[in-house]
């Protein structure tokens, strides 16, 4: 059973932490938006972003810009490329950890 977001939050609008889209809590339900406290996603986000997040396993951050990867091998390859280019603020983050 889906319930409206307005029933689980005091807010009139809610913002996806991933795509930054804002939704009217009166118009969407808990099927359309996922909260970090549900333990399905690591941050509050909309349904399409949650699908993206569950598919991508690693993020490579280069100076605050994020790139998503499905395997550690691919993430590490790109990480090494950025480091070889001289960037020193490169981070591999495992999603959901």
Q: Which of residues 56-95 bind Zn ion (CB under 5 A)?
A: none
Structure-token match 């699908």, residue found: 51
CB of 53 to Zn ion, least distance (A): 9
Task: Pick the binder of Zn ion from 19, 36, 40, 83 (CB under 5 A).
Answer: 19
75 to 7, 21, 50, 54: CA distances (angstroms): 39, 27, 20, 16
CB within 8 Å of 9: residues ≥ 6 apart: 25
Stretch that binds Zn ion, among 4-12, 45-53, 58-66, 81-89 (CB under 5 A): 45-53
CB of 15 to Zn ion, least distance (A): 9
Using the minimum distance from each CB to Zn ion, give the nearer residue, 45 or 60.
Answer: 45
**If binding is defined by CB under 5 A, does position 16 make contact with Zn ion?**
yes
Q: Tell me how long the chain is.
A: 97
């Amino acid at each position: 059973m889906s319930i409206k977001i307005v029933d689980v939050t005091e807010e009139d609008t809610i913002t996806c932490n991933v795509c930054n889209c804002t939704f009217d809590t009166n118009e969407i339900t808990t099927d359309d938006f996922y909260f970090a406290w549900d333990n399905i996603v690591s941050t509050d986000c909309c349904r399409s972003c949650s699908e993206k997040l569950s598919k991508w396993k690693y993020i490579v951050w280069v100076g605050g810009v994020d790139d998503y990867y499905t395997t550690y091998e691919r993430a590490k390859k790109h990480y090494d490329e950025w480091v070889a280019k001289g960037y020193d603020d490169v981070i591999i983050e495992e999603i959901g950890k």
